Structure 1
C-alpha cells in the first residue's frame, strides 16, 4: 500500500513542489503524516465494509429463516384442519431477530444505523401483535398471520441487506439453489394474501349491504 500511496503523491506533483519549498526534515514529516492518514483511511473503509457485510449476512440469514417459517405456518394450518388438532400450530411463530452482539456500529453512518436498528424493534412489536392473535383469535387465522408477517419481515430484511451492501460497496448477494428466487417467492406470497383479504372484505361488505337492504325492505312493508 505504501508504494501505491507514493505513486499517487508523485503523480499529483505535490512531492516535487515540497522538495522546492521545504527542507528535507519537513518533507519527511509530511510524508509520514500523509502516509498514516492514507493508511488509516484505507483501514476505516475496510472496517466499514466488514461491518456492512456482517449486517447484510445476518439480515439475509433471517430472511431465509422467515421463509422457512412461512411455509411451516401453511403446513401447520393444513395439518390442523386434517387432524382436528392444534398441536402442529404450537411451534409456529415469527422468528426472533437480533444483530450480532459485537457489531461495531461506529463504522456506519447515523442514518443507516438508525434504520437498521429499528428493524429488531419492528419485529418485536409484530411478535407481540401475533401473541394477541394467538390468545384471542382463531388458531388457523394465527397461522395465516404468521405466514404473512414472516414473508413481510423476510422481504424487509432483504431490502435492508441490499441497501447496506450498496451503500458501503459490498459485493451484491448472489443466492443460489432454493434461495435464487427468494425475493419473488416472498413478494408472491404477500400479494396472494393481500388479494385474498381484499376479496374477503368485498364479500363481507356486500353481505352487510345486502343485509341492510333486506332489513330496510322488511321495515317498509
Structure 2
C-alpha cells in the first residue's frame, strides 16, 4: 500500500501550487509545535502527579513509623512504673535495668529524595534527639537512684512519644496525607501523654519548692532583721 502511495505522490505534487508551499510548511510546522507542546504538557502533568503521589507515600510511611514509636514509648512508660515498684518491693535496682528510652530509627526503605530538604532536616533531627536522651539516661542510671531513674525513663518516654506524634501529625498535614485515625486503644494517647507529663512536672516542682520556699523565708527573715522588724518564722 505504501508503494502505491509513493507512486501517486508525483501526480499529487503536480496539482499543488508551488508558490503556496511555504504556507503549507508554516501550517504543518505550527501544527507540529502545538502538538509537541500539548504532549509535553501532558507528560509534565503526569510526572507531577506521580511525584506528588510518591511524596505522599513516603510521608505516610514516615508518619506511621513515628506513631508506632509513640506506642512503644507508652509501653515503656508502664514498664518503667512496674520496675520502680519492683525496686521498692525488692530493695535492689535489678528491675530498673529493664527500663530505658526505646531506640528509634526510620525504616531504611524510605526514599528521602522524595521529600524537601527542610522536611528531611526536621525529621532527621528526631532520632538524634532520642539518642541524646538515651545517653543522658544511661549516665543517670550509673550514678542515680534506681527509683528516680525509673521515673526519669517514664518522663522521657512520654516526652519522646509526644514529640513523635506532633512530628507525625505535621508530616501528614504538610504532604496531604489522611489524618491519623488511632484505634480504641490509642484514641486518648495524646491526652494521656500530656496529662502524664503535666503531673510529672508538678511532682518535680513540688520536690524543688520546699528548698526554694526555705531560701525565700530566710531572705525575708534577714531583710526583716536588718530593718529592725521582728522576724516571722516560717510555718
TM bracket (short chain):
0.7 to 0.9
In the alignment, does 2:50 pair up with 1:27?
A: no
Partner SS for 2:98? coil
Q: Which runs of 5+ in 1 are unaligned?
A: 1-19
- Distance change >3 Å, CA 211–CA 73, structure 1 → 2: farther
1:104 aligned to 111, 122, 126, which one?
111
- Give 1:178 shift: 1.4
The residue aligned with 1:119 is: 126
- 2:166 is matched with 159
Normalising by structure 2, report the TM-score.
Answer: 0.78
Q: Which has the larger radius of gyration?
A: 2
Provide the residue aligned with 1:89 in structure 2: 96
d(CA) in 1 for partners of 2:115 and 2:142?
Answer: 40
**2:146 corresponding residue in structure 1:** 139
Q: Tell me the equivalent position of 2:82.
A: 75
**Distance change >3 Å, CA 211–CA 132, structure 1 → 2:** farther
Which string of whole-angstrom CA distances, capped at 9 and with x for unpartnered residues, describes residues 67-107 of structure 1? 11011101110111012232221111000001111211122
Deviation of 1:41 (Å): 0.2
2:113 and 2:150 map into 1 onto residues whose CA distance is 39
Q: For residues 78 and 209 of structure 1, what CA distance do their matches in structure 2 show?
A: 35
Matched, 1:128 2:135: yes
Q: 1:37 aligns with which of 31, 44, 62?
A: 44
Cα distance, 1:110 vs. partner? 1.6
Q: Which residue of 1 aligns with 2:187?
A: 180
- SS of 1:94's partner is coil
Output the CA distance in 2 between the equivalents of 1:124 and 1:153. 11
Q: TM-score, normalised by structure 1?
A: 0.83
Residues 187-196 or 24-33, more deviating? 24-33
Give the paired residue count.
Answer: 198
